[in-house]
Structure 1
């Protein structure tokens, strides 16, 4: 909502004040509307194919050596369950979801169902119990019918599990001799990106004492969806050894936890 008001003088002045508070009176900045040349930005041309494949793949491997592998204390995430039942309602399919609670839990599920052209008639979710969240949804297809095709049911369950396990992708790679943090998340069909990603990533890096040399935001299209893509060039003058896998995993883990609210 606030980004839509940046063209107003009042909102621009408020933004200037916030920047001066953080950066000091020496800060000099200017706000202007982005032109059409910035539509559908593609900022991934320099990514290695292997990095691009890992960042934007639909399904993620459980291989512990992958840079997006979960830390040991989060293995309970893999216990997420999605079940579908057509016997309880004559006109709707019941989807029951149980998984570890995270920031944007409902957003990720609603976005996924919208992308799959699924309509929601009724929903009920529980309060958090031992870190777990349960959700019941009565749904139907766009044509108003239940989901009876086994392949469609399996595809929907698989898609929901992936979105609950990895709604955001976070990896660290090299850009030449420098270290780069990459974050990606699916874009909604109407073109809207996930809220607060840039804020949460910069907050996590600030908490770790890591300075950002440069930051870029763009869009990338794969065969089945569009992604919002963030790349941060990190200042290596910090307490983490970015040449070691241990140091890099600590950074990735902190950023992911901040994004997910853990």
Structure 2
């Protein structure tokens, strides 16, 4: 816990030495409410099963270790680099030298990077209209993920005649 070494990566992925052995995903970053849930949900969306997990926090910093394996019958190759990027995007950004805004304010200092509004990414609306079927939402989100698009919000509507109108609010993660 505490201030990490600047050379440490926020997210580390270590593959098992033997086939079938779990891959260990380690996340060390500032904590926020719901972060563990968000990280686990993302791992599951990538088609992985969490076989074991360890989470620890002091309320400001968290250290999470997940042992993951691919779901049986998973046909496509795992994009570990993309998973790592998405996990990093979920983690809050640490203040410089391990100081947060509370400590900076107490010292009479202001960190201008935190004061300035962050540039908002371009959000695009993808409208998806077709007949509904089992697994449709999963298939669409998987394709968007493979295209390195980040889904910010989804609105799903089903009409009485069996059609769906799905609205995906997305940003381009490759920028």
Normalised by the size of structure 1, how large is the TM-score?
A: 0.31
The structure that has the greater radius of gyration is 1
Normalised by the size of structure 2, how large is the TM-score?
A: 0.44
